Structure 1
């Protein structure tokens, strides 16, 4: 699933492509969602809130989308959109001005809400690590409100803080030498704060790089994520997978049993 940095990059790309121009095409292929409600409306802004995309229009409506596991938005000139793309079963949304098209592929959610009611769809989220209104104190309070919860599960819960996925949960936990199953209550507040700040730092670095990166090396960008069965870059121990969370929200993380010993 794309993480906060990828969603923010997507929002900025959509905003640069569509803002300020009316939609000549608004074809939404998601149940009974009526794209005609957006036709001829002018895009005011496309913003990211955690992993959610809010496409605000001047008619008081917002197109709310979520990429989930496999979704992505593609932008290209209208003249480059092919008939095959228009017919593709994976196309969930097609938005276009007179010059630029945005194609939403395999989106996990598509809905229209009134802009004034956006809180109904994103109000449950905790502070956004990449948001302009980031509130560290509130995020820490949210995390520490359930001391028996495993720290990895707490970090992945978007109600505590928004923007972290398996990449930027696995990597900060490794860098701060914390086992994913460590109970929140077993960690001093300063270690939790340092962990959150590390995650935020990695998201910001990845915004600069244009793709996820923890090590600072483009060819070998990760310490643990996606490296199960390979040697730890720090100690050489074979990296393992671990499952955190309860069904259906369980997630798989990679960790080093030596660098991240169980508490």
Structure 2
């Protein structure tokens, strides 16, 4: 699932391509809105809200979309071949004389009144990259359920909006705790929240969700995607295990030396894992 910084960049691309221009084509390929007549309306802005995208149109309408795991918006110049996937995967087409935005595999395509946007996004916590960012409120929401595993709490968009599985794992590493550590056991939840804000802000204009500061491929993350490879900090083999239950199940990554706290017994390091002495 895209992280908040990826959605921020998607919104920026769509805004640049569409905002201030009149729609010449507006094709929503979902049953509920297949006959919606949006052509002729001017696009006012495209803005992100956590992992949601809000395309606001004149006349008080908003197109609400969400990428979830596989969705993607592509922007094409006039006459350019669409290459984001087969035609049957297209869920939305918004075109102006300057270009065309095509939404592929979008699981959420919803047309609503702009005044009713809260119905779609009002449940979200403070947006890490939004004007409503409120670190104190994010900490309060995280600590409202102190026994919840920290990775699950970070992924819950009702606590703070914008964190996906990459950042949830990397933030646990940077805090020195396993993903299964209870939120209430964090020594400084406020530092975790501030670090989350710093990471997303640093990556909002670049690809890769870089958390180590090293932009080289294979060195961008501390633990995410590094199962069976040495921890960049200590050399211990990074472990992986499932966390949560379907359909909310995620893959967790952690270093058993750098991160303290509970972890699945089946994922404990075997004889081959290097375990430095303190």
TM-score by length of 1: 0.94
Partner in structure 2 of residue 140 of structure 1: 139
Q: 1:187 and 1:203, CA in 2 relative to 1: closer, same or farther beyond 3 A?
A: same
Partner in structure 1 of residue 95 of structure 2: 96
Q: Give the Cα–Cα distance (whole angstroms) in 2 for the partners of residues 102 and 148 of structure 1.
A: 43
The answer to whether the 8 A contact 1:78-1:96 is kept is: no
Cα deviation, residue 262, structure 1 = 1.3
Q: Give the Cα–Cα distance (whole angstroms) in 2 for the partners of residues 46 and 233 of structure 1.
A: 39
Q: Give the Cα–Cα distance (whole angstroms) in 2 for the partners of residues 14 and 213 of structure 1.
A: 23
Structure 2 residue 192 is matched with structure 1 residue 195: yes
Q: Give the Cα–Cα distance (whole angstroms) in 2 for the partners of residues 87 and 170 of structure 1.
A: 33
Q: Give the Cα–Cα distance (whole angstroms) in 1 for the partners of residues 39 and 256 of structure 2.
A: 54
Matched residue SS, 1:78: coil
The answer to whether the 8 A contact 1:26-1:35 is kept is: no
Q: Give the Cα–Cα distance (whole angstroms) in 1 for the partners of residues 93 and 62 of structure 2.
A: 15
Structure 2 residue 32 is matched with structure 1 residue 27: no
Q: Give the Cα–Cα distance (whole angstroms) in 2 for the partners of residues 5 and 193 of structure 1.
A: 20
Partner in structure 2 of residue 40 of structure 1: 40
Partner in structure 2 of residue 262 of structure 1: 261
Tell me how large the CA RMSD over aligned residues is: 1.6
Partner in structure 2 of residue 64 of structure 1: 64
Partner in structure 1 of residue 123 of structure 2: 124
Deviates more, 1:145-154 or 1:32-41: 32-41
Cα deviation, residue 86, structure 1 = 9.5
Partner in structure 1 of residue 5 of structure 2: 5
Partner in structure 2 of residue 168 of structure 1: 167
Structure 2 residue 233 is matched with structure 1 residue 234: yes
Cα deviation, residue 87, structure 1 = 6.4
Q: 1:35 and 1:175, CA in 2 relative to 1: closer, same or farther beyond 3 A?
A: farther
Matched positions, count = 260
TM-score by length of 2: 0.89
Q: Give the Cα–Cα distance (whole angstroms) in 1 for the partners of residues 84 and 48 of structure 2.
A: 26
Cα deviation, residue 78, structure 1 = 2.4
- 1:64-115: CA deviation from partner (whole Å, max 9, x where unpaired): 0000101111111121145x87961111111100121001111121110100
After TM superposition, what 4+ stretches of structure 1 lie above 2 angstroms from structure 2? 34-37, 84-87, 208-211, 242-247
The answer to whether the 8 A contact 1:155-1:164 is kept is: yes
> Which runs of no fewer than 5 residues in structure 2 stay unpaired?
263-278
- 1:203-222: CA deviation from partner (whole Å, max 9, x where unpaired): 11112433310111111211
Q: Give the Cα–Cα distance (whole angstroms) in 1 for the partners of residues 239 and 30 of structure 2.
A: 38
> Which runs of no fewer than 5 residues in structure 1 stay unpaired?
none
Q: Which has a greater percent of helix?
A: 1
Q: 1:246 and 1:103, CA in 2 relative to 1: closer, same or farther beyond 3 A?
A: same
Matched residue SS, 2:137: helix
Q: Give the Cα–Cα distance (whole angstroms) in 1 for the partners of residues 204 and 159 of structure 2.
A: 22
Matched residue SS, 1:249: coil
Deviates more, 1:35-44 or 1:171-180: 35-44
Cα deviation, residue 250, structure 1 = 1.8
Q: Give the Cα–Cα distance (whole angstroms) in 2 for the partners of residues 238 and 17 of structure 1.
A: 45
The answer to whether the 8 A contact 2:14-2:75 is kept is: yes
Q: Give the Cα–Cα distance (whole angstroms) in 1 for the partners of residues 120 and 161 of structure 2.
A: 13
The answer to whether the 8 A contact 1:65-1:109 is kept is: yes
Q: Give the Cα–Cα distance (whole angstroms) in 2 for the partners of residues 35 and 112 of structure 1.
A: 11
